[in-house]
Amino acid sequence: MTAFLLGVAIFLLANVAAGLVRVIRGPTQADRVVAAQLFGTTGVAILLVLSVAMDARPLRDVALIFALLAVVISVAFVKRGWVRAPGQPSRAEPSLPREEP
């Protein structure tokens, strides 16, 4: 069972490597933040799998801290750095039908 769990951890590490490509090539800031969220989620999963495989309970605490930090990063991005795509109306500009003369 331990070999299977270590294989799962290696697969999850490959998932993080694939996400690194999105961080580098991401055309928008939102793509990069989603990839960072992938790192957080996958990091938590890797720590939980390793805690079960090695019977190390402190890794579960570290995974919990990483999960909380991922939420804080998401909220900080939305509060501070979210940029609308060009052409999308803001909330202050409702898209009402235009009256033609």
Reported as a single tens digit per residue, the pLDDT across 58-72 is 999 999 999 998 888
- In-domain check, residue 7: yes
Residues 6+ apart with CB under 8 A from 93: none
Specify the higher pLDDT residue, 57 or 100. Answer: 57
Has residue 95 been placed in a domain? no
Whether 99 is in a domain gets the answer no
Evaluate whether residue 11 is within a structural domain. Answer: yes
In a domain, 98, yes or no: no
pTM: 0.68
Cα(49)–Cα(55) distance, integer angstroms: 10
Tell me which residue range forms the domain holding 13.
2-80
* Total domains present in the chain: 1
| pLDDT over 90 at 45, yes or no | yes
**Start-end of H helices in the chain:** 2-25, 29-54, 58-80
In a domain, 92, yes or no: no
Q: Is residue 30 part of a domain?
A: yes
CA R_g for the chain: 20
Q: Is there a contact between 51 and 57 (Cβ–Cβ < 8 Å)?
A: yes
